[in-house]
């Protein structure tokens, strides 16, 4: 089995620049755990959080999954001069840039680094640390209509 390009680890330290949260269309898929944390942080019940802050979108498999909304300018709905729920942000946000799509190749990592000033700086994340972050996504699966969630 071939080792991933990040076998020697990758450096990353978030600069809190908000580039990953603003000015570009994208999806922040939510797990039940994410929704629970947002419900507590926003001091609202789940139905209200979903109505005000979420939308159903088709994921890469064509299934309807729960995602945060975006503002008209493509900023995350929770961005207001910074993340308004930073300490309770979704796992997808916590794990950035250690996403399967970005870690699929060194080229993807380098392309992402063009926009993100935290990539290739600061703390070294070992292969084991990165693999653990990737594994968390399967432990906390995103909310999916097909599975009858919500």
pLDDT in tens, 49-98: 999 999 999 877 888 999 999 999 999 999 999 999 999 999 999 999 99
Quick one: 6 exposed, middle or buried, by C-beta within 10 A (0-12, 13-18, 19+)? Answer: middle
Instruction: Please report which confidence band the pLDDT of residue 149 belongs to, taking 50, 70 and 90 as the band edges.
Output: low
Q: What is the DSSP string of 35-90?
A: HHHHHHHHT--HHHHHHHHEEEEE-TTS-EEEEE-B-TTS-BTTBSSSBTTGGG--
**Is residue 82 domain-resident?**
yes
**Is residue 3 domain-resident?**
no
Which residue has 């600061």 as its token pair? Answer: 122
- Structural domain boundaries, residue 37: 10-139
Instruction: Please give the Cα distance from 97 to 118 (Å, whole number).
Output: 9
**Residue 11: CB partners within 8 Å, gap ≥ 6?**
119, 120, 121, 122, 123, 124, 125
- How many domains are there within the chain? 1
What pLDDT, on the 0 to 100 scale, is given for residue 1?
A: 67
With beta carbons less than 8 A apart as the criterion, state whether 104 and 7 touch. no
Reference 98, options 1, 35, 11; nearest CA is 11
Global pTM? 0.89
46-53 and 32-42 helices, crossing angle to 10°: 90
**Is residue 79 domain-resident?**
yes
User: Of 20-24, 30-34, 133-137, which one has max mean pLDDT?
Assistant: 30-34
**Is residue 144 domain-resident?**
no
Reference 131, options 103, 89, 90, 91; nearest CA is 103
Reference 94, options 81, 105, 80, 83; nearest CA is 83
**Is residue 14 domain-resident?**
yes
9 Rama class: left (phi>0) / alpha (psi -120 to 50) / beta? left
């Amino acid at each position: 089995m071939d080792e991933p390009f990040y076998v020697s680890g990758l450096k990353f330290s978030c600069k809190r620049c908000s580039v990953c949260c603003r000015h570009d269309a994208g999806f922040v898929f939510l797990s039940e755990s994410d929704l629970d944390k947002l419900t507590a942080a926003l001091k609202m019940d789940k139905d209200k959080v979903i109505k005000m802050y979420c939308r159903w979108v088709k994921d890469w498999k064509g299934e309807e999954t729960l995602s945060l909304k975006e503002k008209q300018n493509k900023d995350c709905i929770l961005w207001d001069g910074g993340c308004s729920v930073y300490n309770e942000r979704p796992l997808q946000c916590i794990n950035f840039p250690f996403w399967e799509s970005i870690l699929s190749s060194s080229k993807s990592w380098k392309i992402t680094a063009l926009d993100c000033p935290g990539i290739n700086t600061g703390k070294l994340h070992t292969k084991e640390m990165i693999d653990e972050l990737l594994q968390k996504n399967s432990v906390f699966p995103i909310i999916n209509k097909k599975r009858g969630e919500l």
